[in-house]
Amino acid sequence: LHAAVRTNRAALVDRLLDAGACIDARDTSAGRRPLDVSVCTWGRRVTVTAHLVHSDRMAKAVVRHDVDAVAFLLACGVSPNMTTEAYGSPLHVAVRHRRYRMMAALLSSDRCRTAVRHNGVTPLDYAVAMGDARAANMIQWRDMQRRRRRTKHLSPVAATKRASRPRGGVGSDDTPTRRSSI
């Protein structure tokens, strides 16, 4: 993440945060966080800095249990998958503190990944270890919904149904149609 920030690669920073990169990891040379590197190198008005600032705000809102702020940041496109050294991902925090509204807000995001690990443990592992059946069911339901959507779009049956469906236009039913000149 530090290297992507130093080279001002916003798309790579976004992908790394989405994959669960730690936003408060310190570099070995000066002990600076990625946000510190970005502000010192590029300033405040750079996309990379914005990604890091918003991810930092997301982490703080989750720790404060501010569901409205988290929902707003998710609507703005902030990744819910970044991690912090102390807390893990936002979903880890919500599961650990049994904040079901927060879990629902995070799991409603299309970008939320339930497989992000913190210290080798996923949020589902936390829920099972704590005996929290409600949290475990919420995470498993989200994973099931994601698999259904993915298999619906990728299955050969769905592809053949799409291919055999008439699309209209010239030659669709062997009768020529006129194109309008709008």
pLDDT of residue 157: 55
CATH class of 2-155: mainly alpha
Provide the CB-side half-sphere exposure for 36 (13 A, CA): 8
Q: Is the pTM of this model over 0.85?
A: no
pLDDT of residue 19: 87
Burial level of 155, CB count in 10 A (0-12/13-18/19+)?
exposed
Q: From the first residue on, what is the mean pLDDT of each consecutive set of 10 residues in the chain (182 residues)?
A: 90 89 86 87 80 87 92 90 87 94 92 85 94 95 85 58 52 47 47
Residue ranges covered by each domain of the chain: 2-155
Rama region for 9: left / alpha / beta (φ>0; ψ in -120 to 50; rest) = beta
